[in-house]
Amino acid sequence: MATETFDKQKTIDLRKKHVGPSCKVFFSHDPIKIVRARGQYMYNEKDERYLDCINNVAHVGHCHPDVVEAGAKQMELLNTNSRFLHDNLVLYAQRLQATLPEKLSVCYFVNSGSEANDLALRMAWQYTGHKDIITLENAYHGHVSSLIDISPYKFHQMVGAKQSQHVHVALSPDIYRGKYREDHPDPATAYADNVKDIIEDAHGKGRTIAAFIAESLQSCGGQVIPPAGYFQKVAQHVRKAGGIVIADEVQVGFGRVGSHFWGFQLQGEDFVPDIVTMGKPIGNGHPMSCVITSREIAEGFMSSGMEYFNTFGGNPVSCAIGLAVLDVIEKEDLQGNALKTGGYLTTLLENLKERHPLVGDVRGRGLFVGVELVKDQKKRTPATAEAQDVIYRLKEHRILLSADGPHRNVLKFKPPMCFSEEDAELAVEKIDQILTDLERALNLSMPESTISENGHCKRKEPSEEINHVHASNGSSHKQTNTHQHINKNKRIRT
Amino acid sequence: MATETFDKQKTIDLRKKHVGPSCKVFFSHDPIKIVRARGQYMYNEKDERYLDCINNVAHVGHCHPDVVEAGAKQMELLNTNSRFLHDNLVLYAQRLQATLPEKLSVCYFVNSGSEANDLALRMAWQYTGHKDIITLENAYHGHVSSLIDISPYKFHQMVGAKQSQHVHVALSPDIYRGKYREDHPDPATAYADNVKDIIEDAHGKGRTIAAFIAESLQSCGGQVIPPAGYFQKVAQHVRKAGGIVIADEVQVGFGRVGSHFWGFQLQGEDFVPDIVTMGKPIGNGHPMSCVITSREIAEGFMSSGMEYFNTFGGNPVSCAIGLAVLDVIEKEDLQGNALKTGGYLTTLLENLKERHPLVGDVRGRGLFVGVELVKDQKKRTPATAEAQDVIYRLKEHRILLSADGPHRNVLKFKPPMCFSEEDAELAVEKIDQILTDLERALNLSMPESTISENGHCKRKEPSEEINHVHASNGSSHKQTNTHQHINKNKRIRT
């Protein structure tokens, strides 16, 4: 067991003294001190166990021994920059490329999702010779200045913030709360047409489009799953304008969506982005990330004559860790587990929706799941305070969950990929209890009419042709043809 | 001994296929494959040893066992984000703060020098409410888009690049090649007045100054050591205009300059920057960095209302590694070694200057040393091709050195801090031979008149009051009152 250097109050005091006040802790009134973690569990200074439903960075499980060993071994041997040849770099590039469509073959290794997205913008600007960027409502793409500009999630937090002239904000393709909803005959086209309108408007002002950037599934934006075909249509409009399409997979990549390795693949094989950016889960917590693009864009980027050098990017240690993460995903079939356990979790949450008026929508793919809380199912009034309440009460039960989205009313599940069915049951059971208490206090009950009616969101699958919903043993699981090798009784490492 | 996965040609082929063509290797016609490293030595796939004179990132020596152990142990225990309390974070912040003037007390942990400098700019913009940035000629501050804008070293490489309107480029305070030279009565004031002129000019155009940013000693810019008092005077002008001063210590910090822990301290105790950014050596190769500022600026930054969150920044592994690096610097008195061995190296190089017409200037502080090669000592014509030749021939002797600066004619020493006197002798002996050969081929000889005359640059020390030049045993060592505890016979770990 890990020991403490300072008691918790001293840690808090020192943090107040020496760490930037803009850097927030979870549960600021009573923050958590974590001293060790393993798998999907974190332990505080009293060795009390927390179930971790939020750390998508600890992708293959906190402190996975294979990843630790790979990192430690390489650290002992060599850690230097990519101006020297090293096998780990090329091996890793080869392995990453193999997870992607052929066209995406050229890698740039950097240190964070922010560095990756900034580099993607630099490439877009250089390759297209254009300036303007189209981003989505509520999007978050990183913390460096160029990305704050294209992150409404961030710049809307700022007192007196102004949107940069070169940034255009498109409608979030959210069929629960957005402009076009589940009852719209073709939300994919309607949302894509909004991008088309933005482009035309920009052209009218003499502006030019460099790129459209979006998370394949919006995370901070509220666990939004774009309707099938949306990205294909957007890509058509953007490319026609001479721009490129950047898929930000920082939050959702590496098998989390279960049926596919990358989130953008949910849209179907006919959609291939021009640049894919990676981050968070890529190194299980080790600071690293990657940008992958086509040969054509890579050559275009080089034509500026400017070298690209990143001091730490692609060093042998980061690459060894990245390789180990890919190995574990494969060896433990964590993508299969995301599909199976994620499907089970979604089903349990959908069952909650049938009984709880506070639950407006349940949406998810694999182990990327959102539960949108509302005070009124018809009006879909965000239940912001209630979502906070759920989070705080779960913490008392030692379950870590967060609430996000523009109204902070979407409970976000994005646990380590070794999350088990028992974990899902525990979390949902506690949420059930908490919602029951809250609804009693608020005097809320299920309106008779909504149970089999419009109030509930019926959403279409992104690729109906490859996803089926199976009902078995009273619970529904989402499965795909490409991933039927689910090991039913597989025990998850703890 | 480490083994290879691919033979060297296959590594090169895969790199061409899968790694961005803008990412260059050293010695592109015959790159080096390094498979392991230790201390100041790197080993290729044939286990041939290279003396490393350039990797300032491997600050306490490649793969230092204490650093490796600290990293491996913490990786096994916990690696998560800074939204949970952790002792490593506050301990490390406390330790870093203790190396700096009291005023610089608030830390932000990020992943790279680029992230650090970008954050410093964001702070400057938010705190001052101003927009314009003053940077130096030939400066390099990082690879994200906001930093390319303020890095003439980079944007001058670009075909058809335009300087951003909010960026002003001040004269580099280079007393060898710059506008005001060693024969100027007061180059510090003259160079600082240039900054003053820029501010007045900007004000005349209705613009406002957010910050002046400079490396405490310019590295890529050509190992430039600003004259004493320069930063004090610049700070006066900048602060009067409502701007702040950012000292970029990414390349030169952590004891490299020998007499002090930070490069800016060479200017004297009366100079304290408003923000200090760190990077490269901070984690001995681990991707991490830090921004430290005053409470006032930190509060100003927070006033925007925007949270600052960095996924990997300040994680327990990075902090454990950072702490281990500080411990090793202290335990092995590497700052003392930088002073002693750096002084010895500089003396050996100064001796070369007496005999070699190609050597125009030798300048350095600790283990940060530059040798400027010229074809004509009076005209100071840059010997660019010759510098490249030296580098390539040294490589044949398995010595790694680089040439940089605006004319790529400055040989740059910035070795791991465990560099020994024997290493210095070996490198200088080989440079001596190579220069002799080159001069013979070029038919160059020492002009009689320059030996005791003007052609040689007599530079003033940045803080004459604390630095003395001692001549002993025919070699001159720079020492300071604060660092006289040099362990003369200390053996350096290999």
Using CA atoms, how far apart are residues A417 and A27, in angstroms rounded to an integer? 24
Residue B302 shares a structural domain with residue B154: yes
Q: Quickly count: other Cβ atoms within 10 Å of residue A330's Cβ.
A: 12
E strand segments, B16-130: 34-38, 41-44, 49-52, 106-110
ipTM: 0.92
B280/A311 Cβ within 8 A: yes
Using CA atoms, how far apart are residues B230 and B175, in angstroms rounded to an integer? 12
Query: Phi and psi (nearest 5°) for A216?
Result: -60, -35
3-class DSSP state of A333: coil
Confidence of residue A109 (pLDDT cuts 50, 70, 90): very high
What is the number of CB-based contacts under 8 A between chain A and chain B? 368
Domain boundary among B331, B351, B377: B331
- Residue B118 Cα, gap to closest chain A Cα (Å): 6
CB-based contact (8 Å) between A25 and chain B?
yes
Domain span at B369: 28-61+333-480
B75/A19 Cβ within 8 A: no
pLDDT of residue A468: 34
Please check whether residue B63 is in contact with residue A78, taking contact to mean a CB–CB distance below 8 angstroms: yes
- Tell me which residue in B19, B84, B309 faces A93 most closely, judged by beta carbons: B19
Contacts of B294 in chain A (CB under 8 A): none
CATH number of the domain at B347, please: 3.90.1150.10
Token duo for residue B109? 């942990």
Token duo for residue B48? 């041939």
CB-based contact (8 Å) between A57 and chain B?
yes
Cα A33 to Cα A284, B153, B316: the distances in Å are 20, 44, 12
Residue B169 shares a structural domain with residue B231: yes
CB-based contact (8 Å) between A35 and chain B?
yes
Residue B57 shares a structural domain with residue B72: no
Contacts of A86 in chain B (CB under 8 A): 11, 33-35
Taking alpha carbons only, the member of A458, A256, A421, A428 closest to residue A348 is A428
Over pLDDT 90: what percentage of chain A? 86
> What value does the CA radius of gyration of chain A take, rounded to a whole number of Å?
22
Using CA atoms, how far apart are residues A311 and B285, in angstroms rounded to an integer? 8
Please check whether residue A370 is in contact with residue A222, taking contact to mean a CB–CB distance below 8 angstroms: yes
Asked, for residue B4, whether it belongs to a domain, the answer is no
Contacts of A5 in chain B (CB under 8 A): 87, 91
Asked, for residue A494, whether it belongs to a domain, the answer is no
Residue B317 shares a structural domain with residue B382: no
3-class DSSP state of A323: helix
Residue A56 shares a structural domain with residue A70: no
* B238 residue type, one letter: V
Mean pLDDT for A131-158 is 93
B12/A84 Cβ within 8 A: no
Asked, for residue B9, whether it belongs to a domain, the answer is no
Domain boundary among B310, B331, B352: B331
Using CA atoms, how far apart are residues A246 and A248, in angstroms rounded to an integer? 6
Q: What is the full DSSP assignment across A129-184?
A: ---EEEEETT----SSHHHHHT-HHHHTTSTT----TTEEEEPP--TTTSSS-TTS
A482 has a pLDDT exceeding 60? no
CB-based contact (8 Å) between A158 and chain B?
yes
* A430 residue type, one letter: K
Asked, for residue B7, whether it belongs to a domain, the answer is no
A12/B310 Cβ within 8 A: no
- Tell me which residue in A82, A90, A304 faces B158 most closely, judged by beta carbons: A304
Contacts of A18 in chain B (CB under 8 A): 90, 93-94, 97, 105-107
CATH number of the domain at B151, please: 3.40.640.10
Contacts of A415 in chain B (CB under 8 A): none
Asked, for residue B17, whether it belongs to a domain, the answer is no
- H helical segments located in A412-468: 421-442
Length of chain A: 494
Q: What is the full DSSP assignment across A353-369?
A: HHH-TTEEEEEEETTEE
Closest residue on chain B to A78 (Cα): B36
Confidence of residue A463 (pLDDT cuts 50, 70, 90): very low
pLDDT of residue B139: 96
- Tell me which residue in B32, B89, B305 faces A19 most closely, judged by beta carbons: B89
pLDDT of residue B2: 62
Residue A425 shares a structural domain with residue A299: no
Beta bridge partners of A293: A106, A275
Domain boundary among A331, A364, A388: A331
B60 half-sphere exposure, CB direction, 13 A CA radius: 24
B81/A62 Cβ within 8 A: no
Mean pLDDT for A56-65 is 98
In terms of DSSP bridges, do strands A467-472 and A475-480 run parallel, antiparallel, or are they unpaired? antiparallel
First to last CA, chain A: 16
Question: What b/e readout covers A350-377, taking b as 16+ CB neighbours within 10 angstroms?
Answer: bbbbeebbbbbbbbbbbbbbbbbbbbeb
- A residues 99-128 closer than 8 Å to B (CB): 105-109, 111-115, 118-119, 121-122, 125
Contacts of B6 in chain A (CB under 8 A): 87, 90-91
- Tell me which residue in B2, B32, B144 faces A85 most closely, judged by beta carbons: B32
Angle between helices A187-204 and A230-240 (to 10 degrees): 20
> In a 10 Å sphere around its CB, with 0-12 CB exposed, 13-18 middle and 19+ buried, how is residue B205 labelled?
exposed
Predicted confidence pLDDT, tens digits, chain B (494 residues): 567 899 999 999 999 999 999 999 999 999 999 999 999 999 999 999 999 999 999 999 999 999 999 999 999 999 999 999 999 999 999 999 999 999 999 999 999 999 999 999 999 999 999 999 999 999 999 999 999 999 998 887 777 777 899 999 999 999 999 999 999 999 999 999 999 999 999 999 999 999 999 999 999 999 999 999 999 999 999 999 999 999 999 999 999 999 999 999 999 999 999 999 999 999 999 999 999 999 999 999 999 889 999 999 999 999 999 999 999 999 999 999 999 999 999 999 999 999 999 999 999 999 999 999 999 999 999 999 999 999 999 999 999 999 999 999 999 999 999 999 999 999 999 999 999 999 999 999 987 655 444 444 455 444 433 333 333 333 333 333 333 333 333 333 32
A286/B317 Cβ within 8 A: yes
CA torsion, points B36, B42, B45, B48, in degrees to nearest 10?
A: -130
Cα B224 to Cα B137, B173, B219, B227, B412: the distances in Å are 11, 7, 7, 9, 11
Contacts of A284 in chain B (CB under 8 A): 79
Residue A141 shares a structural domain with residue A231: yes
Using CA atoms, how far apart are residues B19 and A105, in angstroms rounded to an integer? 8
pLDDT of residue B403: 97
Q: Which run of H or E residues covers position B376?
A: strand B368-376
Using CA atoms, how far apart are residues B329 and B60, in angstroms rounded to an integer? 7
**Number of folded domains in chain B?**
2
In terms of DSSP bridges, do strands B209-215 and B244-248 run parallel, antiparallel, or are they unpaired? parallel
Mean pLDDT for A15-30 is 96
B402 half-sphere exposure, CB direction, 13 A CA radius: 18
CB-based contact (8 Å) between B22 and chain A?
yes
- H helical segments located in B19-86: 65-77
A325 has a pLDDT exceeding 90? yes
Using CA atoms, how far apart are residues A362 and A377, in angstroms rounded to an integer? 13
Asked, for residue A472, whether it belongs to a domain, the answer is yes
Residue B263 shares a structural domain with residue B360: no
> What value does the CA radius of gyration of chain B take, rounded to a whole number of Å?
22
Taking alpha carbons only, the member of A410, A473, A352, A486 closest to residue A174 is A410
Residue B171 shares a structural domain with residue B312: yes
Residue A56 shares a structural domain with residue A74: no
Asked, for residue B216, whether it belongs to a domain, the answer is yes
B302/A21 Cβ within 8 A: yes
3-class DSSP state of A19: strand
Taking alpha carbons only, the member of B234, B246, B175 closest to residue B199 is B234
A400 half-sphere exposure, CB direction, 13 A CA radius: 26
CB-based contact (8 Å) between B164 and chain A?
no
Residue B314 shares a structural domain with residue B342: no
Mean pLDDT for A260-284 is 97
Contacts of B116 in chain A (CB under 8 A): none
Residue B194 shares a structural domain with residue B233: yes
Asked, for residue A487, whether it belongs to a domain, the answer is no
Taking alpha carbons only, the member of B199, B223, B220 closest to residue B138 is B220
Using CA atoms, how far apart are residues A139 and A152, in angstroms rounded to an integer? 6
Taking alpha carbons only, the member of A181, A279, A275, A265 closest to residue A231 is A265
- Give chain B's count of helices (H) and strands (E): 13, 18
CB-based contact (8 Å) between B72 and chain A?
yes
